[in-house]
Structure 1
Amino acid sequence: MSRKVIISCAVTGSIHTPSMSPHLPLTPLQIAEEAIAAAEAGAAVLHLHARDPQDGSPSFDPAVFRQFLPDIARQTNAVINITTGGSHTMTLEQRLAAALDVSPEMASCNMGSMNFGYFQVLDKLKEFRFDWEHDYLDGSRNRIFRNTFGDIEHIMTTLGGGHGTRFEFECYDVGHLYTLKHFVDRGLVKGTLFLQFALGILGGIGADPENLTHMKRIADKLFGTNYQWSVLAAGRHQMPMATQAALMGGHVRVGLEDSLYVGRGQLATSNADQVRQIRSILETLGLDVATPDEARAMLELKGRTGVKLP
């Protein structure tokens, strides 16, 4: 039997700004339409952030999330995965607000504090649609994305223990795997883990085959067979690293949060563009794309029961 591969799609994120691409979804309607189209193209998991409808800046407001989440839930069977990473400008309470409001099947959890640099885009981007963009990008020089041991424990106990939400554990470096092992050993994380190896962010591990192989080897050492794993890679590394992950037995993540492109110098016009591209690659390799319910089974999710959406 062919192996099932889960496609996750990160629809908008909080790193890219409106001036970088006219196709980046900003309004609730755009986010809903993009997510629904990505699910129709084959994404089983939708990783979701919100943006201010007026200027496209990152938003933590549950009311904004609720302007697009119900439509996505009604029109797709995809797993809704809500960020707890938000952006580097938000407090922990702000980053958790939407997930606690909705009680989703899945949420992301960054496995450590880190330098998270995207200021380097200012070397190329000189004109901005909105005033906030320049200072936001430049601010990543001096801000740390914070997720301390205490923060992670709070996320795991309030959202995981309190709501039955399971996590996409975002691991940006090898040390993040050891941090996760600490929480597994303490009994705060149980069941099958879902690791997301995040490659190519300035401040984290680089996006190359050797690093991916190393991350997988350490995960095997720490967790044995008790995990599923996926890869996200920033920018031009997205498709090559996703393809390598699939060849190595992993799952894949694409989406405009991670890369704005679908080929060299070619902007993706939608998230669905990238989903269709990686789906074509997977099927060419003889792999089957997992349905949402197959993804739920593999990741041991609670299902739509208990999610506070229609």
Structure 2
Amino acid sequence: MAKQKTIITCAVTGGIHTPTMSDHLPYTHDDIARQAIEAAEAGAAILHLHTRDNKTGQPVVEPEAYAGILARVKQSTDAVVNITTGGSPRMLIEDRIKAAETFSPEMCSLNMGSMNFAFHPLADRYDSFKFDWEEEYIRGSEANIFRNTFADIRLAADRLRPHNVKFEHECYDVGHLYNLKFLMDQGMFKAPVFLQFVMGILGGIGADIDNLVFMKRTADRLFGDQYRWSVLGAGAAQMGLATAATQMGGHVRVGLEDSLFIRRGELATSNAQQVEKIRRVIEDLGAEVATPDEAREILDLKGGDRVQF
């Protein structure tokens, strides 16, 4: 029998962790591009990309901040590029989709509901910060509503439909699965869909194996065999949930967006280090890591020759 092909997605920098939290978190455009390429070389078939201010590391979404990163990634690797439409919890959807509209990637993330995406407890771990914006940004998340209303989702879907992108439907709780099913019934999204179970974010579902099984069973009931899925575990849950997913027929996401650590108490030195670790797990457990072209086939993507970067 053919071995299962497991897609590794690497989320390179995100919009939550700040430069003070780890010297290894890439935030300059050069470092984001370099670490993305290294992650692809280590086995990541999909690169999930955010960008940041080149000097301060603050999350930004302007297309010009992506341009150089995307060009270098395209020149150096065949990996699938997935551009976020999340940005950060403080941004409006109209701004968050501009890069995807500009560059027409193969994939985009799309959150399936609003939530209090909170990470304010992290601020108490640090006595000082590298940049003035960081502390207020972290503490302020206690009051943030990460807005992704049905109207927001429709706007993103309508504006990006001409680009034939495949959405990574980020589901932070079981209700987000029902939201997606409702929107599919309305004709907004077509099967097969790609689900990313996002677990362990304060404000969303907890990072427990029981919850992963519950999310998977709910998806089975709602979508039958018309979906593919992956899991990301925030923080310390990253590798444990990814390992479980490989044995449940799912795909995995790692990267410094989701966890700054390689093991408890030890900061990861790069995104590639996390990719290398989960690749060893996947292969030791009898599966194979999907190549970028295999990921394209599994997820029915339009192809790297149809992007605009």
Q: Does TM-score exceed 0.5, indicating one fold? A: yes
Q: 2:196 — aligned with what? A: 196
- Which residue is 2:48 aligned to? 47
Question: How many angstroms apart in 1 are the aligned matches of 2:126 and 2:120?
Answer: 10
Q: Which residue of 2 aligns with 1:167?
A: 167
Unaligned 5+ runs, structure 2 = none
- Which residue of the partner structure matches residue 151 of structure 2? 150
Matched residue of 2:40: which SS?
Answer: helix
Q: Hey, what's the Cα distance between the residues in 2 that align with 1:58 and 1:25?
A: 12
Distance in 2 (CA, whole Å) between partners of 1:276 and 1:305 is 27
**Partner deviation per Cα, 1:213-243 (whole Å, 9 max, x = no partner):** 0000000000001111000010000000000
Q: For residue 238 of structure 1, what is the aligned residue in structure 2?
A: 238
CA distance in 2 between counterparts of 1:157 and 1:301 reads 18
Instruction: Please tell me whether the aligned partners of residues 191 and 300 of structure 1 are also in contact (alpha carbons under 8 angstroms).
Output: no
Distance in 2 separating the partners of 1:213 and 1:91: 32
Q: Give the alignment of 1:105-120 within 5 angstroms.
A: 105-120=106-121
The match for 1:256 is: 256
Cα distance in 1 between the residues matched to 2:137 and 2:19: 12
SS in 2 for 1:80: strand
Please give the secondary structure, in 1, of the residue aligned with 2:206.
Answer: coil
Counterpart of 1:67 in 2: which secondary structure?
helix
Give 3-state SS (helix, strand or coil) of 1:115's partner: coil
- Counterpart position of 2:82: 81
User: What CA distance in whole angstroms lies between the structure 2 residues aligned with 1:257 and 1:243?
Assistant: 18
State the match for 1:302 in structure 2: 302
Partner of 2:62: 61
The residue type equivalent to 2:15 in the other structure is S
Q: Tell me how far apart the structure 1 counterparts of residues 33 and 305 of structure 2 sit (CA, whole Å).
A: 21
Q: CA deviation at 1:305?
A: 2.9
TM-score (norm 1): 0.98
Please give the secondary structure, in 1, of the residue aligned with 2:269. Answer: coil
1:21 aligns with 2:22: yes
1:305 and 1:261 mapped to 2: Cα distance? Answer: 35
Please state whether the residue corresponding to 1:24 is helix, strand or coil: coil
Distance 2:226 2:93 in 1: 29
State the 1:250 CA deviation.
0.4
Could you tell me which residue of structure 2 aligns to residue 289 of structure 1?
289
| Secondary structure class of the residue paired with 1:144 | coil
RMSD: 0.7
The runs of 4+ residues in structure 1 deviating greater than 4 Å are: none
Report the Cα distance in structure 1 between the residues aligned to 2:92 and 2:191, rounded to whole angstroms.
29
Pairwise mapping of residues 201-280 of structure 1 onto structure 2 (< 5 A)?
A: 201-280=201-280
Distance (Å, rounded) in 1 between the aligned partners of 2:204 and 2:277: 26
8 A contact 1:168–1:196 mirrored in 2:
yes
Q: What is the CA distance between 1:279 and its match in structure 2? A: 0.2
Task: Give the drift of 1:306.
Answer: 2.5
User: TM-score, structure 2 length as denominator?
Assistant: 0.99
Q: Secondary structure at the match of 1:46?
A: strand
8 A Cα contact 1:282 1:288, kept in partner: yes
CA distance in structure 1 between the aligned counterparts of 2:306 and 2:230, rounded to whole angstroms: 26
The answer to whether residue 67 in structure 2 is matched with residue 91 in structure 1 is: no
Q: Distance in 2 between matches of 1:266 and 1:86?
A: 27
| 1:286 alignment partner AA | G
Q: Which amino acid aligns with 1:203?
A: G
- Matched to 1:37, the amino acid is E
Cα distance per residue 1:74-115 (max 9 Å; x no partner): 110000000000001212111111111101100000000101
Amino acid at match of 2:54: P
Secondary structure in 1 aligned to 2:305? Answer: coil
Distance of 1:101 and 1:165 partners within structure 2:
12
Amino acid at match of 1:53: N
Per the TM alignment, residue 39 of structure 1 is displaced from its structure 2 partner at its CA by 0.2
CA distance in 2, matches of 1:306, 1:44: 17
- The one-letter code sitting in structure 1 at the alignment partner of 2:232 is L
Query: Residues of 2 paired with 1:88 and 1:230: CA distance?
Result: 22
Task: Quote the offset at 1:211 in angstroms.
Answer: 0.2
- Which residue pairs with 1:187 in the alignment? 187
Which residues of structure 1 form unaligned runs of 5+? Answer: none
Shift of 1:191: 2.8
